[in-house]
Amino acid sequence: MYQLHYFPGNANAAPHMVLEEIGRRHELVLVDRAMNAQKSNDYLKLNPNGRIPTLIDGDLVLFEAAAIILHLVDQHPEADLAPRIGARERAKFYQWMIFLTNSLQEELMIWQYPDRLTGSDVAATEIVRQGAEKRAGAYLDVIEQHLTANGPLFLGDKLSAADFYLVMLARWARPMANPPRARPHIANLLDKITALPAVRRAYAREGITGEIC
């Protein structure tokens, strides 16, 4: 049985949705960020970065949300959440997964936590935050353009794990001046994916109710 170390609404959300969609039994282990548990000695033995999530799969310990998702889709090809290995569409799936985590997620993290780069310099913090929001918005525009031409989902009509990943990031980005849902094709994707029972179960199990993203 899989074990997912999580904190409600953190980067564990997308792997959790994928686990629910796959339908395999899994245990949730709370890493209480309110108590700084992600920096505890016990947790650092699993994830030396002190970040959430971590997946335990037997004797395999895996961190980084995107890596966890890629592992899960490879272990469960019957769930059909990624094109077959070697297919041209698999390359596009990799492209969007890496774009979401390396580009959009990175800027959202800077936007949410600009002081990690600037310390106590209030003016610099605001400059960094505004720059990250602008870059994140540009990345969302790239996704909107792709969905306009190729949607409604990242891989056309085919559900993939990349769609779950965007739901997670869109939730984080709701307070932006120009949030993801301001783009009609992204909003359509979010409506389709958040209506899935797996997504509802994942957020409910994490104690998140109301509007998801």
HEC states along 123-162?
HHHHHHHHHHHHHHHHHHHHHHHHHHHHCCECEECECCHH
Q: Are residues 105 and 182 in the same domain?
A: yes
The pTM (predicted TM-score) of the whole model is 0.97
Amino acid at 163: D
Residue 213 is predicted with a pLDDT of 84
The string of DSSP letters for 79-129 reads G--SPPTTSHHHHHHHHHHHIIIIIIHHHHHHHH-THHHHTT-HHHHHHHH
Tokens representing 78? 């019957």
Residue 209 is predicted with a pLDDT of 83
Q: Are residues 72 and 94 in the same domain?
A: no
Residue 108 is predicted with a pLDDT of 98
Residue 211 is predicted with a pLDDT of 81
Q: Are residues 100 and 192 in the same domain?
A: yes
Mean pLDDT value of segment 39-61: 97
Mean pLDDT value of segment 18-32: 97
End-to-end CA distance of the chain: 29
Residue 30's domain comprises: 2-80
Residue 169 is predicted with a pLDDT of 98
CATH of the domain at 51: 3.40.30.10
